[in-house]
Amino acid sequence: MPMPDPAVQQQFHHLYSTHHRWLKAWLRKKMSCHHTAADLAQDTFLRLIVSDKTPLPEQSRAYLTQIAKGLMIDLYRRQRLELAYQEWLMQLPAVETPSPEQQVIVLQTLIQFDKVLDQLPSNVRETFILSRFEHLTYSEIANRLGISVAAVRKYMLKATQACMELL
């Protein structure tokens, strides 16, 4: 990995030293765990470094806040997904419970699928969810969403292609 320009390194250092304590305190107010807040503050700066973009000084806090909010949303979504998966596992008979290794693989795959679905346009995502999780027919989906069956087919193809790319 090439070393960043010394001027860019200095900008990141200044941004971090100026705003890290503030960001961590802001996150601590939003989060129930100060350790999670500290982790998210670090992840915010890591995301900023990886993006190779530095905000203008007067926009620094707004920019950092926007990144941190996105990370909080990701964290909450992952936690909800993990909880739903754990609840599903608890309903299984003991002999059908996957091994801990299999559970981790399934959970990681679910998280990846969740990210893929989240990036789809809302109408495509909703069509896919209605088909795969509510088991509606294409005609039922078309009626519910007020679209044509051809549009349902098109949206399902888009969603399926996105999921297949993940696999």
Give which of 37, 35, 13, 36 is closest to 25, Cα–Cα: 37
Convert the pLDDT of each residue in 46-70 to its tens digit: 998 888 788 888 899 999 999 999 8
Question: How is residue 49 written in tokens?
Answer: 């470094």
The DSSP code sequence of 82-131 is HHHHHHHHHHS-GGGPPPHHHHHHHHHHHHHHHHHHHHS-HHHHHHHHHH
Convert the pLDDT of each residue in 107-127 to its tens digit: 888 888 888 888 889 899 899
What domains can be seen in the chain, in order of their start residue?
1-94 (1.10.1740)
Convert the pLDDT of each residue in 131-147 to its tens digit: 988 889 999 999 999 99
- Whole-structure pTM value: 0.66
The whole-angstrom separation of Cα 29 and Cα 118 is: 27
Q: In the predicted model, what is the mean pLDDT of residues 80-88?
A: 85
Q: Given its phi and psi angles, is residue 47 left (phi above 0), alpha (psi -120 to 50 degrees) or beta?
A: alpha
With beta carbons less than 8 A apart as the criterion, state whether 20 and 37 touch: no
